[in-house]
Structure 1
């Protein structure tokens, strides 16, 4: 199957086990990367998944892409462009709907896998529009409450599952930031915990096998 011409550039891997309704996994890469990064996991993931790896909409120089800009300011330090992040949140939500129709996906079995900035956006989409998402695999990211919809706390999260992991020596996103997410999820009635691994800003092999097993049990 060829990639369809949808609103966000993406690459796909079709399931090798065909079912009447296709469960789908959307991949969202980190800042400065592209759609090929997480796609390297695709052949090792459950055979029944239709996998879509998405390129972030903002090109960077000399290469790579971003879901939103990150600025360095002498007084404020490093900060994110939340307005741009909200725009990307809604671009992703719209793209999920497009892809479901274009590729005949099971709208009730949609999983998101994000890394770093891709995790921040995956959290934002899932908490803002939980009716669109069944599972989230959140790697090396954190929850930015500033980019969620205003009334997100009143959403129905009863069908949402979240797997979170982080490196204990991550120098890009401190693990203390990541540890806040499960606390907030518990208040929303989403049971999860942070899986910690002795690595930096990356995915350890044991981390991969753990989230693969988790995903297999949820789709």
Structure 2
């Protein structure tokens, strides 16, 4: 099982809605957990730590390497393994905490967002709601046939993101709409991060679905 930190619901709920947080490359499970205190009291919030250790408290869901021309490429074998590990982890958490099976939210930032998209297609309908912050859909991690039919997506990106260009993120709504999947897309005048108004926007999006 992946290492994780948890915030129990602040109100007594028999089968709480579940929010899983997936951090970005070179971070750890504490990073997005700072959101937890500000989010709905009804939620069980679990922040997972990626499996690949980089040293100094930094972890990755998969390696990002550079070739001779300094072009970046992702270790897709590691990425797919992480998708499988996250899927198993979600099942383990659902069972351990007896969460509401129909209300699972998956929030990922950057590399975590890329894998949140991939998981939602590789494991159709395992999660009902995906919040993809500063990420993109990596076609190489998608199954041949898209059978996901009821997940909806909140997507946001910084217009001056220097790590993952905003153009990459802009392709997601078109792809989702082509597959009849609901999505809400927004941009903020920031770099590779989450602006305060961005936080309140996805908080409200989650609240409407609880």
TM-score range, shorter-chain basis?
Answer: over 0.9
Q: 2:209 maps to which residue?
A: 218
RMSD between superposed Cα atoms in Å: 1.1
Aligned residues of 2:121 and 2:148 also touching (Cα < 8 A): no
Q: 1:13 maps to which residue?
A: 7
Aligned residues of 2:151 and 2:182 also touching (Cα < 8 A): no
Aligned residues of 2:120 and 2:148 also touching (Cα < 8 A): no
Inter-partner Cα distance in structure 1 for 2:99 and 2:192: 32
The yes-or-no answer on 1:207 pairing with 2:198 is yes
Matches within 5 A, 1:52-201: 52-75=46-69, 77-151=71-145, 153=146, 155-157=147-149, 159-201=150-192
Q: 2:44 maps to which residue?
A: 50
Aligned residues between the structures = 210
Inter-partner Cα distance in structure 2 for 1:156 and 1:178: 20
SS in structure 1 at match of 2:90? helix
2:27 to 12, 33, 53: 33
Inter-partner Cα distance in structure 2 for 1:74 and 1:8: 34
Aligned residues of 1:58 and 1:67 also touching (Cα < 8 A): yes
What's the TM-score once normalised by structure 1's chain length?
0.93
Residues 11-35 of structure 1 deviation map (CA, whole Å, 9 limit, x = unaligned): 0000011222110000000000000
Residues 107-155 of structure 1 deviation map (CA, whole Å, 9 limit, x = unaligned): 111000100000001111112212210111110001001112333x1x1
User: Gaps spanning 5+ residues in structure 1: where?
Assistant: 1-6
Inter-partner Cα distance in structure 1 for 2:148 and 2:24: 28
Aligned residues of 1:86 and 1:148 also touching (Cα < 8 A): no
Inter-partner Cα distance in structure 1 for 2:158 and 2:57: 26
Inter-partner Cα distance in structure 1 for 2:38 and 2:186: 20
User: Gaps spanning 5+ residues in structure 2: where?
Assistant: none
